[in-house]
Amino acid sequence: MSAVLPRDTLPPVIAPEETNASISAKIGDATLRRPTGWLWIAGFGLSLLLCGVLFVGTCWLLYAGLGIFGLNIPVAWSFFIANYVWWIAIGMGGTFISAAMYLTRQGWRNSINRFAEAMTVFAVSVSGIFPILHLGRPWFFYWLFPYPDIMNVWPQWRSSLEWDFWAILAYLIVSIIYWYVGMLPDLATLRDRAPTRAQARFYGLLSLGWRGEARHWMRFEQFNLITAGLAVTLVFSVHSMVALDFSEGLVPGWHETIFPPFFVAGALFSGFAMVLVLGIPLRKWFGFEAYLTERHIVNMAKMMLAAGLFVDYSYFSEIFTAFWSMDKYDMAMTMHRVVGPYAWVFWGTVLFNVLSIQLLWFPRVRRSAGAVFMVALGVLVGMWLERFMLIVTSLYEDFLPSAWGMFWPTVWDLLFLVGSIGLFFFMFLLFTRLLPMLSMFELRKLAASTRRREARS
Amino acid sequence: MSAPLHGLLAEFAEAEHLLTAVRRARKEGYYAACIEAYSPYPVEGLDKALGVRHHWVPFWMLVGAIGGGAFTYWLEWWSAAVNYPINVGGRPTFSWPAFIPPAVEMTILWAVLLGVLAVLYGARLPRVHHPLFASHEFERATSDHFFLLVRGNDPNFDAIRTQAFLESLSPLSVTEVVDE
C-alpha cells in the first residue's frame, strides 16, 4: 500500500527566495507582457461562440416564451433552476476561500484568493441570468423590488423567492466590491510597471490613483477585515436562502429542514472543485508553480474532500430520515429517486460526489495535479446532477399518481447550460489577460512574514 | 525658485528601514500630517508609527449596517402591515420572523457600500494625477521599495536640513518631488 508521505516533503507555501521584486515581476508580467498564446485564442473563440448560442437562445426565449423548454406540469422547474443553483454555489467557494481563510489566517490562501474571487463574481453573474429569464415575463423582474408603483402593490416579503432576490442582489454587489477594492494595489503595480502608455492609462484609471500610502493601507485593511467577516455571513445566508426556495415548498424531497446546511456544504464542495479546475491549468500555463505549489493543491483537495463528506452525510441523512419518518410520500419519493426512471441521475451523483472523492484520502492521489483535476471535474458534473435530481425527482411523481409525468429536456435546455459555461469562461479568459491573476501585495506580505519567521528561528 | 517643491522623497529597500525612518522623522519634530510613508504591502505598525491610526471606516460600516438593516425591516413592516395589509391564510400581517432575511442581506450590503465610500473618501481617491507620479523612483513604491515623503509644507521643513536628515537615515536615494 502507498506509504503515508511525511508532511515535510511538501514544498513551503512560498519559496524563501521569493522577494517583493520577483513577485511583482512574475505575476505582473504574466498580465502585462506575456504574448497571447494560441491556446488562449482558441479557448476565447470557443467561449465567444457559446456566448453567441446563449444570446440566440435568449432572443428566442424572449420571443417564444418558456414553452421552448421541456418544462410542464408537474415538472415546472428543471434545467434553469438547476443551472442557477449550480452556478451560485460555485461562487460560494471563492468567497469562502477569500474571506473565511483570511479571518483564520491561512497564509496559503494568499495565492488563491484573487482568481477564486474572480470566479465568484463571474459565477454569480452567470447564475443571476437564470431566475430572471425563468420568470416568464423577464421584463417585469423589477417587480421584485419594493418601489411605490401606481398599482400600490408591494413584494410578498414572506416568500423565500423574494428573499432570494435580496440575497443575490447583496451577494453580487458585495462580491464585486470586495474583489475590486482588493485588487486596487495590484492594479497600481500594473500601472507602474506598464510597458506601454496605453496600458499605463488603462491601469491608471482602474487603480483610481492608488499610491500605497500608510493612510490608504490602514483604511484598506480595516475595510477588508470587516468585509471578510460580513462575506462569510453572506456565504452561509445566501445559500441557505437558495435552499429555502425548496424547503418552503411542500413537495416531498423539498420540504426538509436539512436543506440550508446541506446546500451550503454542497456550495463549498462545488466551489472548491471549480477553484481546482481553474487553478491547476492556470498554474501550468502561466508558470505559477512558485506560488500555486503542490501544497496548495493538496490543501485544496483536502478541503474539497471535507466538504464532500458533509454532502455525503446529507445524502445519507436524507434517505435515512425519509424511512425513519414512515411518511409514505417521502419513502415513495426516495424509492423513485433510487430505482425510478431517473435512477441514473442518482447513481451518477453517487459516483461523482460520494465514490470518486474517496480517492483523495490517498496522499499519492492528492499530490497528483492531474488526478485532483479529474476528481474536481467529476465533482462539478456530480453537483449539477445532484441539483437536477433534487429538483426533478421531487416534482415528477409527487402525491397523486394521476398528476405524474416525466420531464424531457429540449435542445434549448441543453444550449442554455452550455452557453452559460461559455459565458463564464469568456469572462474568466478576459480576466487572465487583463487583470492581476494572483494577489501580489498579499504574497509580498506573506513572503515578508515568512522571512521574519525564518530570521527568528 | 522654479517649480515649487512638493517634498523630499527617501527610498528604502526594507520595511524595517522605513519604520525606523518614520519614527526618527517624528522624533525630529516633523508633523504627522506632513510626512507620509509608502509601501508595496501593508506594513504592520506603520500607521501607529506615523500617528494616523483611527477607526472611521469601521464607524461608517456600522452606520451602514444599522441603517440598511433597520430601514429594510421598517419598510417590510410598513408596506405589509400598514400601507397595504393583505390577509394571506390568516397569517399575521406583521410576520416578523419572515421579515428578517431581507433585512440581514441589506445590513451586509449597506455596511459594505458605506465602507467602500469611507475608504475612498478617506484616502481621497480616485485621484489619477499626483505630483509623486512624476517621480521615476516612485514607480517602485507599488512593486518592491519603501518610501518616506516629507512635505514642503511642514513648518520644520528646510530643503537643506531636511535633505541632510533624510541622508542620515541611509536611504537608497533622496529625490525632490515638485508640484506641477
- The residues that bridge with B178 in the sheet, in sequence order, are B5
Contacts of B91 in chain A (CB under 8 A): 158
B91 shares its domain with B115: yes
Q: Do B115 and A223 touch (CB under 8 A)?
A: yes
B113 shares its domain with B150 = no
Q: Does A149 touch chain B (CB under 8 A)?
A: no
Mean per-residue pLDDT of chain A: 93
Q: What residues of A are in contact with residue B76 (Cβ under 8 Å)? A: 157
Burial of B140 (0-12, 13-18, 19+ CB in 10 A): buried
Regarding whether B63 and B48 lie in a shared domain, the answer is no
The answer to whether residue A2 is domain-embedded is: no
Contact across the interface for B46 and A214, Cβ inside 8 Å: yes
- Asked if residue A26 belongs to a domain, the reply is yes
Whether A1 is in a domain gets the answer no
Query: Which residues of B fall within a CB distance of 8 Å from A167?
Result: 101, 105
pLDDT for B75 beyond 50: yes
Give Cα A282 distance to the centre of its chain.
16
Tell me if A441 and B41 make a contact (CB, 8 A cut-off).
yes
In a domain, A71, yes or no: yes
Average pLDDT estimate for B10-26:
93
Indicate if B104 and B136 belong to the same structural domain.
no
Q: What percent of chain A has pLDDT over 90?
A: 86
Residues of A in contact with B31 (CB under 8 A): none
Mutate to test the interface with A, among B143, B149, B151 (most CBs of A within 10 A): B143
Do B105 and B65 share a domain, yes or no? yes
Which of B142, B146, B151 has the highest number of chain A CBs within 10 A, making it the mutation to test binding with A? Answer: B142
The letter for the amino acid at A97 is I
A110 contacts A131 by C-beta, under 8 angstroms: no
| Average per-residue pLDDT for chain B | 92
Does residue B45 share a domain with residue B75?
no
| ipTM topping 0.85 | yes
Nearest Cα residue in chain A from B119: A219
pLDDT-derived band at A1 (thresholds 50, 70, 90) equals very low
Helix (H) or strand (E) segment spanning residue B38? strand B35-38
The reply to whether A3 falls in a domain is no
Q: Are residues B65 and B34 in the same domain?
A: no
Give the Cβ contact number of residue A288 at 10 Å: 20
Q: For chain A, give me the number of helices (H) and strands (E)?
A: 16, 0
Q: What is the mean pLDDT of residues A328-344?
A: 94
Whether B137 and B85 map to the same domain: the answer is no
- CB-nearest partner of B55 from A167, A215, A222: A222
What value does the mean pLDDT take over residues B79-108? 93
pLDDT, tens digit (0-9, with 9 covering 90-100), for A179-196: 999 999 999 999 999 999
| Residue A7: predicted pLDDT | 54
| In-domain check, residue A4 | no
Stated as kind and residue range, the H or E segment containing B147 is strand B146-151
B1: pLDDT confidence band, cut at 50, 70 and 90?
very low
Q: Tell me the per-residue pLDDT of A291-323, one tens digit each, with 9 for 90 and over.
A: 999 999 999 999 999 999 999 999 999 999 999
| Strand order from edge to edge, sheet including B146-151 | B35-38, B146-151, B5-12, B173-178
For residue A30, which of A111, A117, A126 has the smallest C-alpha distance?
Answer: A111
Contacts of A210 in chain B (CB under 8 A): 125, 142
Is A374 inside a domain boundary? Answer: yes
Domain that holds residue B16: 5-53+130-178
Q: Which residue from A167, A214, A238 is facing B47, i.e. has the nearest CB?
A: A214
pLDDT in the model for residue A238: 94
- Residues of chain A neighbouring B119 (CB-CB closer than 8 A): 181, 219-220, 223
Q: Are residues B67 and B115 in the same domain?
A: yes
Interface of A with B in 18-77 (CB under 8 A): 19-21, 24-25, 28
Residues B148, B110: one domain?
Answer: no
- Give the model's pLDDT for residue B83: 92
Tell me the nearest-neighbour CA distance from A118 into chain B, angstroms. 18
Higher pLDDT pick, A158 / A457: A158
Measure the CA–CA gap between B83 and B61, rounded to whole angstroms: 30
Q: Does A151 touch chain B (CB under 8 A)?
A: no
Question: Has residue B80 got a pLDDT over 50?
Answer: yes
Q: Are residues B114 and B62 in the same domain?
A: yes
**Residue B160 C-beta-side C-alpha neighbours within 13 Å:** 0
Structural domain total, chain B: 2
Tell how strand B173-178 and strand B146-151 pair up. Answer: unpaired
Per the structure, the count of domains in chain A is 1
A398 has pLDDT over 80 = yes
Closest to B80 measured CA to CA, from B95, B66, B97, B69 = B95
| Domain limits for position A304 | 9-456
Closest CA to B131 of B6, B9, B1, B2: B6
Contact A192 B120 (CB under 8 A): no
User: Taking Cα atoms as reference points, which of A87, A161, A175, A179 lies closest to residue A128?
Assistant: A87
CATH number at residue A252: 1.20.1630.10
Confidence category of residue B51, pLDDT binned at 50, 70, 90: confident
